[in-house]
Amino acid sequence: MSGSKAVRPYGDKKGDGAVQLSFTLPLPKSAVATEAAKRYVAKMGIREPYVTLAEAIAPDFTYFVIYGRATHDIDPSGITAEEAPAAALGREEIDAEIARRFGRRLVVLGCALESDAHTVGLDAIFNMKGFAGDYGLERYHGFDARNLGAQVAVTEVVRQVRETKADAVLVSATVTQNEIHIRHLTDLVDMLEAERLRDRVVLIAGGARVDHALAKELGYDAGFGPGTTASRVAAFLLDELTRRHGAAAARP
């Protein structure tokens, strides 16, 4: 290992580089296929490949599970990674702070765009009941939370932003073929900008394959990945809207 701070995957002793891989090769099961799989993982920098499963899952496809030892290491000391910031506040504190700082309910719209019919993530953040014991935005007094549901046209979201004077829009994006979700996400930003509404709303993207960096790249204010609870989103909204509305809103 180069340098004292660099690390490798840990199996049962420091520095052993133990990894497990599973993948399918488009080859009929044979000794050649297994050897090909071993050489393939060797190219990935894995030593001592141990094929624990080679299964013909279809006439021309073999599924492998392989254990081995990674030769690469990584030094974490120079790495920075951004997470959507959020203070640790509970629902009641957030409600109280919204009342104190804004003196009104904040309008939050939620939707999945165009062809996206998935609502599980959206509902987890919005529904009264919430997710993993954390109540959804509809439960907060401080938010006028409106879940527009799935397959909402970009033009409809823009119309709703204007009509409801929304403070924030949460877009749930589920990965589909051809990266179509990316296009819909950027379409919304473009249309809000064209309608001069972009600066009036906090725009948040969420979903299984969304992270903060991707969301920022697409022109959103924040991105939340899997496992995000409503209270984390709520705390972020409070911070961000306070920041935007300046010290006036934040003054005790």
Partner 1 sequence: MPAKLGLSAEQIERCRSLARRVADGVARETEQYTTVATERTVLRLLGVDGVDSDDVPIPNRVVGALQAAGRLPRGAAVWMGSALAEGARDASEAAALLSDSARAAALSEHPRWREAVAPLVERSLARIRNNRAERERRMAAHPAEELPLLYAIVATGNIHEDVVQADAAARAGAQCVAVIRSTAQSLLDHVPFGATTAGFGGTFATQENFRLMRAALDAIEPEIGRYVRLVNYCSGLCMPEIAAMGALERLDMMLNDALYGIIFRDINPLRTLIDQNFSRRINAVAGVVINTGEDNYLTTADAVEQAPAVLASQFINERLARDAGLEDWQIGLGHAFEIDPELEDGLLYEIAQAEAAREIFPNAPLKYMPPTKHMTGNVFRGYQQNALFALTSVATGQSIHLLGMLTEALHTPFLHDRWLAIEQAKTIRRNARHLGEEMTFRPDGRIVRRAREVLAGAEQILGRVAEHGLFAALADGVFADTRRRIDGGRGYDGVVRRDPAYANPFMEAWSQAPAGVGA
Site residues (vs partner 1, CB under 8 A): 22-24, 55, 57-59, 61, 63, 114-120, 123, 127, 129, 132, 149-151, 174-178, 180, 208-209, 226-227
Q: Coil, strand or helix: which one is 221?
A: coil
- Known active-site residue 129: yes
Pair 192, 158: CB distance under 8 Å: yes
Residue type, 137: L
**Min. distance of Cβ 153 from partner 1 in angstroms?**
10
Beta-bridge partner residues of 156: none
Give the integer Cα–Cα distance in Å for 206 and 232: 12
Task: Choose between 123 and 167: whose C-beta lies nearer to partner 1.
Answer: 123
Q: If you search the block for the tokens 């001592």, which residue do you land on?
A: 48
Give the integer Cα–Cα distance in Å for 82 and 221: 13
Output b/e per residue, 204-214; b: 16+ Cβ within 10 A: bbbbeebbbeb
* Catalytic residue from among 43, 129, 165, 216: 129
Task: Choose between 36 and 249: whose C-beta lies nearer to partner 1.
Answer: 36
Task: Choose between 228 and 231: whose C-beta lies nearer to partner 1.
Answer: 228
Pair 84, 202: CB distance under 8 Å: no
Task: Choose between 51 and 180: whose C-beta lies nearer to partner 1.
Answer: 180
**Min. distance of Cβ 39 from partner 1 in angstroms?**
20
Give the integer Cα–Cα distance in Å for 116 and 123: 14
Give the integer Cα–Cα distance in Å for 135 and 147: 15
Using left for φ > 0, alpha for ψ between -120 and 50, and beta otherwise, residue 220 falls in: beta
Pair 237, 202: CB distance under 8 Å: yes
**Min. distance of Cβ 117 from partner 1 in angstroms?**
4
Task: Choose between 147 and 231: whose C-beta lies nearer to partner 1.
Answer: 147
**Min. distance of Cβ 152 from partner 1 in angstroms?**
10
**Min. distance of Cβ 123 from partner 1 in angstroms?**
5
Q: Which of 236, 220, 241 is nearest to 106 (CA)?
A: 241
The residues that are catalytic are: 129
